[in-house]
Amino acid sequence: MQPERKAGSNAHLKWVSEIPPLLLVDGAEFDKTIVTLYAYRHSYAQRHADAGTPPDVLRDLLGHEDIGTTQTYYRVTEKRLRSAVDKVVAFQLDRHGNRVWPEAKALLDHEHARMRVGAVTVPFGTCSEPSNVKAGGHACPFRFRCLGCGHFRTDPSYLPELRDYLHTLLRNKERIRAATELDSWAAVEAAPSDEEISRLRALIRLTERAVDELTDEDRAVLEDATSALRKVRQAVNLGMPGTAPPRSDPRLERNA
């Protein structure tokens, strides 16, 4: 090691040893011996891969000559996502709030492929309608009436979006009800239906119940999985009707 690099490494080790204990979420102390200079580079690269940075861009950022070296970070991301999907899919619900995979353990490879290729993300779930999937989520033949469509699926990772959508429907309904410039037929056409609002409330309630029935340990596992999936969704801009950024806890307040 060159003298200047060795000096920098020694200074870093001294700094790490002098900082207060680093505590994990569960209160355990983080092992400071693995806080090395290279660890910063590794974390930087992994965060880019997790956020969806294209491999060729990340290769240039890291100065890799071989794209295969860069791809190792994406293989870690893929493994994490597959694990997250396996955990969350057991809580997937249809538009009626029925569990789709009540006994799901670990998905087979072809099931992972079907979920990735055979569905697209919609504002508060996924859609498997063929023409919409083919168009990347931009050509729903039913005008995104997801809550009344058999192609729609959701899970606890979408609870914040479901909740925000309910608030949006209620605000729109009140605004349209107070509008004096609309003819009655136009107001009826523009206002969210009571059936849609009731269906959404029921879906939120059933999804929350599935989360509340978990043990603290299982809930922590589910929260980690939903966090991983949300990061991927935030990295992909579908150009579709959106909702506010999701909160971190799938257990949401129940004041609507």
What's the confidence (pLDDT) of residue 139? 86
* Whole-angstrom distance, CA of residue 176 vs CA of residue 186: 10
Residues of the chain with pLDDT below 50 are 117, 236-256
Kindly report whether the global pTM for this prediction surpasses the value 0.75.
no
Average pLDDT value over all residues in the chain: 79
Domain-wise residue ranges, the chain: 3-83, 110-235
What's the confidence (pLDDT) of residue 208? 92
What's the confidence (pLDDT) of residue 205? 94
